[in-house]
Amino acid sequence: MVMYNSGDLKSGLKVLIDGEPYNIVESDFHKPGKGQAFNKVKLKNLKNGKVLEKTVKIGVSLEAADVMIREMQYLYNDGDLWHFMDTESYEQIGISKSVVDEILIWLKEESICGVTIWNNQAIAVEPPKNIDVMITETDPGLKGDTAQGGVKPAVVETGAKIRVPLFIEEGELIKVDTRTGEYLSRVK
């Protein structure tokens, strides 16, 4: 079992706290004039996404979490499970709705996603940063209608609701940033 000393903690490391896997988001070393030095770390739970801050005194060790992120292709959903295939080994796994629930609006068949595996179980799925989607529903843009900054609401084929420029019409293929839900460009 690998352990990290409090002085070795840095952003990006995966650690176990109370039996749960966490990703270190920030790590700040503090050496006050009086008292013991410590490391203040901001951690994100890899299972549920909750963020917590923890103070780790110098000399304390944290256990490394055996977490790996595998590149997998989304294949299909059978109602209960969302099926993904490892792009290297072609191994297929089924992932429950509770894990993929937050990213369902960005999942398209054949998309390459980052699947976080811990204890031989998928605990998180990261969609691709950008996806190409078709506009299925939007109002026609009217010239001079720039009261909302030249954007209008639209619905894409995955069901996500986004804001697009006035010149975009139904049936067009666009590129969307899945992290922010923002329109990026038309796809030619």
Q: Which of 27, 113, 10 is nearest to 64 (CA)?
A: 10
The total of other beta-carbon atoms located within 10 Å of residue 178's CB is: 21
The amino acid sitting at 135 is I
pLDDT of amino acid 32: 86
Tokens standing for residue 171 = 């049936």
* DSSP code at position 141: P
Q: Residue 127: pLDDT band by 50, 70, 90 thresholds?
A: very high
What's the mean pLDDT when you consider all of the chain? Answer: 89
pLDDT of amino acid 145: 58
Q: Once rounded to an integer, what is the mean pLDDT over residues 43-72?
A: 89
Q: Once rounded to an integer, what is the mean pLDDT over residues 51-58?
A: 90
| Residues 94 and 83 sit within 8 Å (Cβ to Cβ) | yes
The total of other beta-carbon atoms located within 10 Å of residue 109's CB is: 9
Q: Residue 115: pLDDT band by 50, 70, 90 thresholds?
A: very high
pLDDT in tens, 143-168: 665 555 788 899 999 999 999 998 88
Q: What domains sit in the chain, N to C, each tagged with a CATH number?
A: 3-64 (2.30.30.30), 69-126 (2.40.50.140), 130-186 (2.40.50.140)
pLDDT at residue 184 greater than cutoff 90 = yes
* DSSP code at position 147: T
The vertex-129 CA angle with 26 and 64, nearest 5°, equals 35
Q: What is the pTM of this model?
A: 0.75
| 149 Cβ contact partners less than 8 Å away, ≥ 6 residues apart | none
pLDDT in tens, 9-29: 888 888 998 888 998 889 898
